[in-house]
Amino acid sequence: MAKIIPFRAVRPSRDKVGLVASRSYQDYSVEELKFQLEHNPFSFLHIINPGYKFQKEISGTKRFQLVKNRYLEFREEGIFIQDELPSYYIYKTISRDQIYCGIIAATSVDDYDKNVIKRHEDTISQRENLFKDYLQTVGFNTEPVLLTYPDSEVINKITDEVRSQRPEYEFSSLNRDTHYLWVVNDPKLTEQIREEFEKMDCVYIADGHHRSASSSLLAAESRENNPKHTGEEPYNYFMSYLIAESNLRLYEFNRLITDLNGMSKKEFLMQLDEWFRIENRGSELYKPSKKHHFSMYLDGEFYSLYLRKTMYEFTDPLSALDPYILFVKVLKPLLGIEDPRNDLRISYLPGRQESFEVKKAVDEEHFAVGFGMLPLTIEEVKQIADAGLTMPPKSTYIEPKLRSGLTIYEF
């Protein structure tokens, strides 16, 4: 039974929302970031990059406090305003090739701790604690965890009804996406949404494992420090964007390796031959078309690698995942990649980009070899989560990617 409730979001005023909302900080090039900070005083980037005000790079706990200060300034100036009533927020984006629509809500930390909110990736404790300290200092969260749930006719009907009305926000971003947001605070509708989510045995994290884990740490620490803890305090929840499984888009991550671990091209191909049937595809761009098929770009040529299934044993859902197969049969034993999360010899390229980008990276001699595969399905991800297993890092690149500063959850 998933506890997913409305909350009083802090949001940009309607006239400034298009200027405030930003992409994730990491998505900006140095030039783009500089332009936004110089020419857009309302950008949320000013909050998460507070050192710009002092023309100084600031990090650590000092940065956390300055982030809070910049945020309070936006609140004091009326750029951000908090809703009076607890609400759900229906958020829709239209891009050139996809439409996404989901519900922004507060989700229960207890559900995360009890595996009602299921996860499929490992987290790094250092990152968990760092973000927990950040949340504790700034007192708000602006990046929703992306959750997915089984398609629901009831929720679809409610969102269709709400979307027939004028949205609170309607604006376009520089990448030509159009954004809409509706505020749902009618008691009848909010109760219907809450009850429908309560009927679900579980929901799944699609993106945001570290944010969820950090919120759990923050809640545990806050409970210990609050002798009057009731379970309903804001720290018992974290902000999420819930989207139906059918509306989620999963892409693969290509793998790029800097060297062949001391082997020649011929030696490497001979080693691969034990586990894969190899075909030289020449210089023509090649992408795999079936599960357990891989593409490889090496020394100016594409190869197809077909797993020899008679040699490989499938023992659980994890063993059947292509990113796992590539890791245990190629990256680790042949190329010496022991830690794919931290090894500097491996890089990842989202499969949303073309195979040409893998070719380009190798041709420019930044990498020696590149591998591609088909994207995982949502069913594969759920099987891993249901079995209590974890996937290799960078197994999925999931969309939608959400903007910062659109709705903010205060603790």
4: pLDDT strictly greater than 70: yes
Q: Residue 271 phi/psi, 5° resolution?
A: -65, -40
Flag the least confident range among 97-106, 283-292, 323-332: 283-292
Q: Are residues 301 and 225 in the same domain?
A: no
Residue percentage of the chain with pLDDT more than 70: 100
- Distance separating alpha carbons of residues 86 and 5, to the nearest angstrom: 8
Residues 160, 269 within the same domain: no
Give helix 153-163 / helix 187-198 axis angle, nearest 10°.
Answer: 150
Predicted local confidence at residue 385, as pLDDT: 97
Residue of 51, 54, 46, 53 lying closest to 74 (CA atoms): 46
Q: What is the mean pLDDT of residues 1-22?
A: 96
Please state the rounded mean pLDDT for residues 137-164: 96
Rounded mean pLDDT of 105-134? 95
Burial of 410 (0-12, 13-18, 19+ CB in 10 A): middle
Q: How far is C-alpha 55 from the chain's CA centre? A: 30
- The 3 state secondary structure assigned to the chain is CCCEECECCEEECCCCHHHHCECCHHHCCHHHHHHHHHHCCCCCHHHHCHHHHHCCCCCHHHHHHHHHHHHHHHHHCCCEEECCCCEEEEEEEECCCCEEEEEEEEEEHHHHHCCCEECCCCCCHHHHHHHHHHHHHHCEECCCEEEEECCCHHHHHHHHHHHCCCCCEEEECCCCCEEEEEEECCHHHHHHHHHHHHCCCCEEEEECHHHHHHHHHHHHHHHHCCCCCCCCCHHHEEEEEEEEHHHCEEECEEEEECCCCCCCHHHHHHHHCCCEEEEEEECCCCCCCCCCEEEEEECCEEEEEEECCCCCCCCCCHHHCHHHHHHHHHHCCCCCCCCCCCCCCEEEEECCCCHHHHHHHHHCCCCCEEEECCCCCHHHHHHHHHCCCCCCCCCCEEECCCCECCCEEEC
CA–CA separation, 11 and 23 (whole Å):
16
Q: For residue 239, what are its two tokens?
A: 């902000």
- Distance (Å) of CA 396 to CA 11, 67, 143, 254, 323: 30, 31, 19, 10, 9
Which residues are registered as beta bridge partners of 239? 106
Give the mean pLDDT of 222-249: 96
pLDDT of residue 51 exceeding 70, the answer is yes
Write down the pLDDT at residue 351: 83
Q: Is the pTM above the cut of 0.85?
A: yes
CA distance 263 to 284: 25
Looking at the structure, tell me whether residues 208 and 97 fall in a common domain. yes
Q: Is residue 48 part of a domain?
A: yes
Mean pLDDT of 316-345: 96
> What tokens appear for 115 in the block?
């595996």
Q: What is the mean pLDDT of residues 134-156?
A: 96
Would you state the pLDDT for residue 313?
94
Residue 391 lies in a domain: no
Do 124 and 209 contact (CB within 8 A), yes or no? no
Same domain, 81 and 186: yes
Same domain for 319 and 226: no
- Check if the beta carbon of residue 188 is closer than 8 Å to that of residue 109: no
CA 182 – CA 73 distance, rounded (Å): 26
Q: Could you give the CA distance from residue 219 to residue 141 in angstroms, rounded to a whole number?
A: 13
Q: Read off the pLDDT of each residue in 84-101 and give the average, rounded to a whole number.
A: 95
Q: Is residue 347 part of a domain?
A: yes
Dihedrals phi, psi of 359, to nearest 5 degrees: -60, -45
pLDDT above 80: residue 260: yes
Would residue 35 count as lying in a domain?
Answer: yes
Terminal C-alpha separation, the chain: 24
Does residue 380 lie in a domain region? no
Residue 316 belongs to some domain of the structure: yes
- Say yes or no: 296 and 404 in one domain: no
Q: Are residues 84 and 232 in the same domain?
A: yes
Structural domain contains residue 392 = no
As a whole number, mean pLDDT of residues 354-359 equals 83
Q: How many domains does the chain have?
A: 2
Residue 149 lies in domain: 4-250+399-410
Give the per-residue pLDDT at 75: 97
Say if residue 144 is preceded by a cis peptide, omega within 30 of 0: no
- pLDDT at position 59, please? 78
Token couple for 307: 């797993």
- C-alpha–C-alpha distance, residues 237 and 215, integer Å: 8
Both 162 and 207 in one domain: the answer is yes
Identify whether 394 is part of a domain.
no
Does one domain contain both 236 and 307?
no
Predicted pLDDT at 353: 66
At 287, which CATH number? 3.30.1760
Q: Flag whether pLDDT at 342 surpasses 70.
A: yes
Confidence of residue 57 (pLDDT cuts 50, 70, 90): confident
* pLDDT at 390 exceeding the cut of 70: yes
Average pLDDT score, the chain: 95
d(CA 219, CA 247): 31
Are residues 222 and 272 located together in one domain of the fold?
no
Instruction: Report how far residue 255's alpha carbon sits from residue 69's, in angstroms, rounded to the nearest whole number.
Output: 40
